[in-house]
Structure 1
């Protein structure tokens, strides 16, 4: 097999694998490039295919960041965790759905998560339980202020908030 034919095979494989992956879900450019490199494809071929897919609008880091952020927020994760996960995937800007949410929105989400997981009992006399719930919310990616405010609430939440 000549080098020309091998290059064509690599390009065909890169295109088909990338398209198949994008058909399943959105990917960031970095994620897609990594998955193609795992298949032992040439970096120049990967770069050319990803450039073409960006030009066609099939690959879009901004669209990926918005969709990924919304999904993670709906799963109960806070702004710190969402930003960290995006950075791991090569996204170094804050999507609108994260930046437009005010602190009160994040506190409400942390409160809903706390109510679902633990209930809203009074924690003023149970330091160990308060710390356990605080660690849980912190691991979920809420800031210290958001966690503290969510732990202060003792009554049922009005779902209309």
Structure 2
């Protein structure tokens, strides 16, 4: 005989949320999405998320800043950073703020130039095939095509 599905309590939702947060920081939308995979009542999920925000365990601004800076250090450009943060449910206000913050430290052009040199070598010494490959790679990494074009072909 089949048993009735278990009625989830607020404590169940909290426990699941804390398990996710124990592994790493999450954006509010990302945690909402993960908790949504369970059979939790939506009102309970929202109540727990609100409490986690109030306690400071969930902070989209902090999440965007740490994740955005980490991605920038790994050589990702602004378009790819914005895309990855959007996928995790971060608001565009926080995304724009972190992109401005990263650019204030070092401009995207300088970051692109440093990444390009580290990955492919000096732009002026690349053959045509490598320039095309570098262009595709840099655009995929999230750098603006115009910036990459100037770095590669005006060097």
**TM-score, structure 1 normalization:** 0.81
Q: Where do residues 54-93 of structure 1 align in structure 2 (5 Å cutoff)?
A: 54-91=53-90, 92-93=92-93
Residue 145 of structure 2: aligned partner: 144
Residue 110 of structure 1: aligned partner: 112
Q: SS of the counterpart of 1:122?
A: helix
> CA offsets per residue over residues 26-85 of structure 1, 9 Å max, x none?
111111011111122221111110011011111111111111101111111001111111
Structure 2 unaligned residues grouped into runs of 5+: none
Q: SS of the counterpart of 1:6?
A: coil
Distance in 1, Cα, partners of 2:36 & 2:48: 12
Residue 157 of structure 1: aligned partner: none
**TM-score, structure 2 normalization:** 0.83
Give the C-alpha shift of residue 87 in structure 1.
1.5
- Select the residue among 106, 118, 121 that pairs with 1:119: 121
**C-alpha contact (below 8 Å) 1:120/1:153 kept by paired residues:** no
